[in-house]
Amino acid sequence: MSSLHALSQSDLLPRRRRDWLFGLGLTIVVIVVALAIVGPYVGPYDPTLTTPNVSVPPPSLSEIPGLFGAWISGSLEVPPNWMGTDASGFDVFSRVIAAPRTDLVIALVANGLSLLLGVFLGLIAGYYRNAATELMMRVSDVMQSFPVFISAMVLVALAGRSTSNIVIALAFVYTPIYVRLTRAEVMSQKVRGFVEAARALGNTELSIAIRHVLPNSLTPALIQASVTIGFAILLTAGLSFVGAGVRPPTPEWGLMISTGANQIILGEWWPSVFPGIAISLTVFGFAVLGNALERRYDAS
Amino acid sequence: MTRLEATALAEFSVVEPVAARTVLSVENLVVGYPVDGRMIKPVDGLSFKVREREVVGLIGDAGSGKSTAALALLGLARAPGKILGGRVEFDGRDLLKLPDPEIRAIRGRDIAIIVQNPRSSLNPMLRIGKQIGYAYQAHNAASGPQLRRKAIDMLRMVGINDPERRADPYAHELSGGMAQRALIAMALSSKPKLLIADEPTSGLDVTIQAQFLDEMWNTVQETGSAILLITQELGTLANYCDRVLVLHEGRIVEDAPVREFFANPQHPYSRQILKLQRERGSSLGLESPEGGVKQLLKTTDLRKTFAVQHTRKTIQAVDKVSLEIGRGETLGLVGESGSGKTTVGRCLLRLLEPTSGSIVFNGEDLVKLPPNDMRRYRSKLQIVFQDPFDSLNPRWTIRRILTEPLDLHSDLSTADKNKRAEELIDLVDLDRSLLDRKPRGLGAGALQRINIARALACNPEFIVLDEPTSVLSPRARVGLIELLVRLQKELGISYLFISHDLTTVRYLCHKVSVMYLGQIVETGTVEQVFSRPRHPYSQALLSAHLFPDPTDRRVDKVIPAALEGEIPSPIDLPNGCYLASRCPHVVDACRTIPQTLDPVGGGQEVRCWRAVAGDVTAFAGGARMSDNIDDVVIVGAGASGAAVAWRLARAGLKVTCLEQGDWVRYDEVPSFRTDWEVARQTSHHPNPNVRQNPVDYPVDDSEAAIKPFLYNAVGGSTILWGAHFPRFRPSDFRVKTLDGVGDDWPISYEDLAPYYEENDRMMGVSGLAGDPGNPPRLARQMPPLPLGRGGETMAAAFDRLGWHWWPCDVAINSTPYGEGRGGCNNCGPCDLGCPSGARSSSDVTYWPQAIRAGAKLITGARVFEIETDSQGRATGVAYYDRDGIARRHRAHVVTLAANGLGTARLMLLSKSKRFPNGIANDTDLVGRRLMHHPTGMVTGTFDEAIDGYAGPFAVSILCQHFYETDAARGFVRGYQMQLVRSNGPVGTAVGGYLPRVPWGERHHETFRNTFARTASLTVTTEDLPRLDNRVTLSDTLTDRWGIPAPKMTYSLDQNTRDMIEHGIKSATRAFEEAGATAVRAERLVVNAGFHLLGTACMGSDPDTSVVDGDCRAHGVPNLMIVDGSVFTTSAALNPTPTIQAVALRAADWLIAARRGVEVAA
């Protein structure tokens, strides 16, 4: 039975559909990461400097090919504003591709911190169950009972608007998720046969926890991380949108949407819509990748 | 062979066996799954057949395609699999070609399926009754109340008590066993022709597993379905299946009857899985290592309690367990789940900290060791877990897994560790290439070997094996057991083998301890515990276990009632015995006396004070004979049983006769001994209460005016008889019509006449045809025996008085007759065994011929119940064999021939739901109307010797002058007088038919005046049937197997007393006429209960009789009673020829009606 079971689960699911989604997610994530590395340098304009041309609309679809040809041939004096410029004269395109540097770094660092902390605390809470670890879980309950956005906003408001503070705030609000996930997995892994076998072989508890239980308990947290990065980007942008994030003129999607939003009423949609699309695609990319990873690991 | 016999046989041979119809025929079935663009075929060319009413077992390893095949039989395949080809012919139609609606109609209605884990197959949202109703409704037009009624009927059929109430709960409210029965009820609600059961018991506890399969088997026997039983268990195959199919790599590689499969498997795969059975045979356990064993590990009063959350209560998981394991020895620890056996294993290694007690290993108490020292010790004590998939770190390579213990306990270099890993992998017979793989993708068998290799890494002295074989496929299991035995032999390791699989325990262990609710209830060698379990729980566990032995099938045996209820909660255990609430042997004291583990000899210890006191009867398995169901089973091998067995066997019927006694060995009979007259008063006394042989059952005769005479042996009471062989007179069958008393028989003298003749020929009768007082008959086989001087004297007197007399027909050879039987030499001690074989008893007349004709005779078999199905048809009988082991014998027709006492007892014992008062006893007539022949005896003493001691014990002449009713005499019906000879010298001295010869000075004179000078006339009266004279079951008295003894209640009425008085006067008159000098009379011979008649009387009206004229029980179409029980009235003479004639006639009816007899399914 078991082999048949394994067969149907791992090999008999429609493989093509899963791979297509995985590929799409992966592509988006790779692009975003690449932009985080080179984005600020490859844009046609400096993302932090204004130009005199304010509120230039993006070229219409029919103009794009001609404009593109002219740009390639070097017949243009200044590069075209592919996504127009905002009310301050910033080139929207340059800022959209420069923003991942800010957004992704904040999300990644915050995520990495919370993952490390969360897994460590989760391992302890799951492996040693006592009053102290129970207290820890109750504290994390309290933390989780506030909406993530509110907690982060309050933390930043208290600590001051700096990138490091935002990172810390994000790490703080995401840690309980990893604690909980890891703890649950540790609790189910620590009663497995190989753990008991390790104990029977004479391993110390610490060595069992680190060598046997931890490696087998990481999967859910890691899968969660890829999903969380997307949401962390969203959260960073959200904080900026409400004015609790990075300061202008740092290129950042949330900030761009926030400043662009004032112009929408005048019909200038482009300063906020393009960063909005960028956020959506990025979050979607990470979510799809996370799902694909989760399914792959579930099957094993 | 005479011409007559040849014709007869030709007639009988038209009864040919009906060939079983094929229900399902599978040809070349192929099921495939697309994988990476190509097809893998788990079922590839499957072909087999299932016949009507057949239980076919399908066995194969995991992944051999069993479940895929089961679904494909219904035209189904799990997506994305497809049935690629072949035929599944069911009822003449190819299911694979049927349009969807038609095949849906067949699924569930004609082919039902029970899948793995019955419990989870019930819908938790629906009441049980509703679910069954819906299952029925899917294929039958019914609604509302009708459905509910149907559901209740189904629940009743699967043996659920109080089905009206049980239809209401939801699935989770039912116990496991109940849920399973409900599921069977559902599957069988439409009486499918085929039931597919796909490992229906996987994951169930042993006891419940057996109950489930029993239930399924029994129900299917009733509905007549065929079963395809898919299993991985040899025990299930052996005990329930008729035929075995072996599935290997998608094909049937072997198809054999179950016995043949086990005895002589053909395919290498079959041989592999049966290897242990074949090599070890029935030997129990392993030989202990030579030179005795040195103790390695000993626990004393080990306890482990767990706190129950949110209460102050504790669970007693392990309760004062003391174990001892020697070096190189295996101790088996068995018990159901929840018994605490796994906890014991964990405590031994301190994977769980014991609450108290000590574990002394190599002289050191492990419990007292600080954790660090304990860790060091771990290299010497290892454990192998149940689930191989779970017990290896999935992220590590096998190499890393195997070297981990070396990292912990040795200072070896990396190269040495790798070398050791290679050694280990060799040791467990795995390929070295596995070392760099991870556990994922390996089979359970390989993984378990790696587990063992890891345990062995640091050369441990002791390994706990916690159910290491339970998840393995049959082949892997065999391999692992062999490996464990080999490793023990090579490395001298000790094992604690924890398992619920008793078959494996039997192969692997030296000693075994049985656990129940945290306690050890029995401990001993494997031989002791398996062949003579003492504790009721051990007995129940063993009787529930399915041993893979098709010669001792569970379905052929009577299984002692399973323990009642389910395991109680281990919280708040009682003071007394933990088993008290479920134990069949419980007495009040058990509930209060704390039980201790006490020795019962040979090192065996039992935690049951009643078992220690010897009050718990043993149960053990054993071999049984019959392959399949007999046509007829006969209970009793006496006069009638022998006749019926011969007649039926000669007609080609499959007949078995069960007899509680043994064959008489004629080289050992008392006739050869000088104390033969003493034997008649002791070991061969006709009263079983005096004789008290082991094969006898006692009779409560405290309220009986006449004491019972009978004998238990092949030949029955004919062993001790006088062989008087008169026939009933035609008037005896019509007493009601003639005299207004008693009842008329439904048959007449004429009906029996041919059978009288046939029986005379079989038995051999000496006598003289032509008695004017009786209907004519053929010439007797032999001339009459000499009348003797006494006979001649009395005959002359009768002549002078003008009274009727005639030489009595006697079944004693006057000249040689029959097979190896000589003529009478007049020696006298006939009843103690005839040295020349002249006296006919049915063991020397009928039985040799019956056995030659194919009848089977099982001696030492005390039948205690006639088993019936729910329709009240007999299905066979249950009996205790010579060793007190309960067994079951199935037959289409049950025939009782155990005499008026034994038959009535057995019928009264056979209570069931359908027959609460005993089988065929709805009228309360069974046991009633008991008739004897109340006898007076008149002895005349003559002046001269008339040599009464010489000549056979039998009657010489009989006088039927007073046989018919004469109103002038003041009583109805009549009597006959029979002249019997006198006693031998000892008999004369102790009284003979007279008061005893006085001791003292007149002794010799009296003896001389009596010995050889007396003759006696018996006055044998007709007893009229009365309801108050009866056989019942004794409340207090039981036989040696604990079966209630029969009790006789009997008194005489005035008519009989008047008759005897009249007879005494007549006999006295005859003696005076003959010239006797002294005549003395005994008014009622108390020791004369030799004719036990009427307790299951024959009649045409079912309200006033038990059997019809053909001896068939009213209300039980396939139960026949053929002994003296069926006599409607008693007549006034010896009944044996009539008993046998009635029996032969009944046998002929059965032969003629053979195809028409309604038998149990």
Burial grade of A193 (CB within 10 A; 0-12, 13-18, 19 or more): buried
Q: How far apart are CA B587 and CA B822, in angstroms?
A: 58
Is residue B975 pLDDT above 80, yes or no? yes
pLDDT score for B559? 61
ipTM of the complex: 0.75
DSSP output for B900-965: HHHHHHHHHH---SS-TTSTT-TTS-TT-S-B---EEEEEEE-SS---TTSS-SS--EEE-TT-S-
How close is the nearest chain A Cα to the Cα of B366, in Å? 14
HSE-CB of A54 using CA atoms within 13 angstroms: 4
CA-nearest residue of chain B to A194? B391
pLDDT score for B7? 35
Chain A residues in contact with B373 (beta carbon < 8 A): none
Burial grade of A83 (CB within 10 A; 0-12, 13-18, 19 or more): buried
Structure token digits, residue B804:
């009727």
Is residue B832 pLDDT above 80, yes or no? yes
Q: Which residue has the higher pLDDT, A151 or B556?
A: A151
Q: Which residue has the higher pLDDT, B320 or B621?
A: B320
Return the minimum-mean-pLDDT range out of A51-55, B1016-1020, B1077-1081.
Answer: A51-55
What number is the average pLDDT over the span B847-855?
88
**Chain Cα centroid distance, residue A8:** 33
What number is the average pLDDT over the span B396-415?
90
Residues in Cβ contact with B413 at an 8 Å cutoff, skipping those fewer than 6 apart: none
User: In this prediction, what percent of chain B has a pLDDT beyond 70?
Assistant: 92
pLDDT score for B1? 37
Chain B residues in contact with A199 (beta carbon < 8 A): 351
Neighbour count for residue A200 (Cβ, 10 Å): 24
Chain B residues in contact with A203 (beta carbon < 8 A): 375, 404, 408
Neighbour count for residue B598 (Cβ, 10 Å): 14
Is residue B562 pLDDT above 70, yes or no? no
Domain ranges for chain A: 31-43+93-299
Comparing CB atoms, the residue among A2, A7, A194 nearest residue B392 is A194
Size of interface A-B (CB pairs under 8 A): 81
Under the banding of pLDDT at 50, 70 and 90, the label for residue B345 is very high
Under the banding of pLDDT at 50, 70 and 90, the label for residue A6 is very low
**Quick check: helix, strand or coil at residue B98?**
coil
pLDDT score for B1073? 93
A222 interfacial to chain B (CB closer than 8 Å)? no
pLDDT score for A119? 93
CB B480 within 8 A of CB B448: yes
Is residue B280 pLDDT above 60, yes or no? no
Q: Which of B103, B31, B110, B28 is nearest to B70 (CA)?
A: B31
Q: How far apart are CA B607 and CA B339, in angstroms?
A: 15
Q: Which stretches within B703-820 are classed as H helix?
A: 735-739, 749-763, 788-801
Residues in Cβ contact with B10 at an 8 Å cutoff, skipping those fewer than 6 apart: none
CA-nearest residue of chain B to A13? B80
A75 interfacial to chain B (CB closer than 8 Å)? no
Is residue A292 pLDDT above 60, yes or no? yes
Q: How far apart are CA B226 and CA B259, in angstroms?
A: 19
Q: Which of residues 531-590 of B touch A (CB under 8 A)?
A: none
Q: Which residue has the higher pLDDT, B532 or A33?
A: A33
What number is the average pLDDT over the span B583-605?
83
pLDDT score for B281? 46
DSSP type of residue B724: B
- Buried b / exposed e over B1038-1054, threshold 16 CB at 10 Å, is ebebebbbbbbbbebee
Is residue B991 pLDDT above 80, yes or no? no
Is residue A14 pLDDT above 50, yes or no? no
Structure token digits, residue B731:
């008037």
DSSP output for B826-858: --S-GGG--TTS-B--TTTTHHHHHHHTT-EEE
pLDDT tens digits, one per residue of B4-42 = 333 333 333 333 334 567 889 999 999 988 877 788 888
Is residue B670 pLDDT above 70, yes or no? yes
pLDDT score for B929? 95
A43-52, A58-67, B1044-1053 — most confident range: B1044-1053
Complete domains list, chain B, with CATH: 22-273 (3.40.50.300), 394-458 (no CATH), 630-930+1091-1152 (3.50.50.60)
CA-nearest residue of chain B to A215? B395
Is residue B617 pLDDT above 60, yes or no? no
How close is the nearest chain A Cα to the Cα of B233, in Å? 15
CATH superfamily of A31-43+93-299: MetI-like (1.10.3720.10)
Q: Which stretches within chain A are classed as H helix?
A: 2-6, 15-42, 63-73, 92-127, 131-145, 148-159, 163-189, 193-201, 205-207, 214-217, 219-241, 253-264, 270-299
Residues in Cβ contact with B1030 at an 8 Å cutoff, skipping those fewer than 6 apart: B927, B928, B929, B930, B1048, B1049, B1050, B1095
Under the banding of pLDDT at 50, 70 and 90, the label for residue B68 is confident
pLDDT score for B462? 93
A10 interfacial to chain B (CB closer than 8 Å)? no
Using the structure block, give the residue that is written with the tokens 């009606």: B1153
Is residue B1161 pLDDT above 60, yes or no? no
pLDDT score for B1158? 63
Q: Which stretches within B228-308 are classed as H helix?
A: 234-240, 258-263, 268-273, 275-280
HSE-CB of B357 using CA atoms within 13 angstroms: 22
pLDDT score for A13? 41
How close is the nearest chain A Cα to the Cα of B382, in Å? 7
Is residue B379 pLDDT above 90, yes or no? no
Q: Which stretches within B532-627 are classed as H helix?
A: 536-544, 609-612
A202 interfacial to chain B (CB closer than 8 Å)? yes
CA-nearest residue of chain B to A199? B351
pLDDT score for B6? 37
pLDDT tens digits, one per residue of A250-270 = 888 888 888 888 888 888 888
B198-212, B600-614, B682-696 — most confident range: B682-696
> Which of B347, B352, B391, B454 should we substitute to test contact with A (largest number of A Cβ atoms within 10 Å)?
B391
pLDDT score for B1135? 95
Chain A residues in contact with B80 (beta carbon < 8 A): 12
State chain B's mean pLDDT as an integer.
Answer: 85
CB A207 within 8 A of CB A127: no
Structure token digits, residue B999:
């001791």
pLDDT tens digits, one per residue of B460-504 = 999 999 988 888 888 888 889 889 988 998 888 999 999 988 888
Is residue A299 pLDDT above 90, yes or no? no
Structure token digits, residue B845:
């007349």
C-alpha pair distances (Å), B75 with each of A69, B25, B66, B195, B732: 64, 13, 14, 15, 69
Taking 3-state DSSP, the helix, strand and coil percentages for chain B, each rounded to the nearest 5, stand at 30, 20, 45
pLDDT score for B703? 93
Ranges assigned E (strand) in B969-1126: 975-980, 1014-1021, 1030-1038, 1044-1050, 1078-1082, 1119-1121
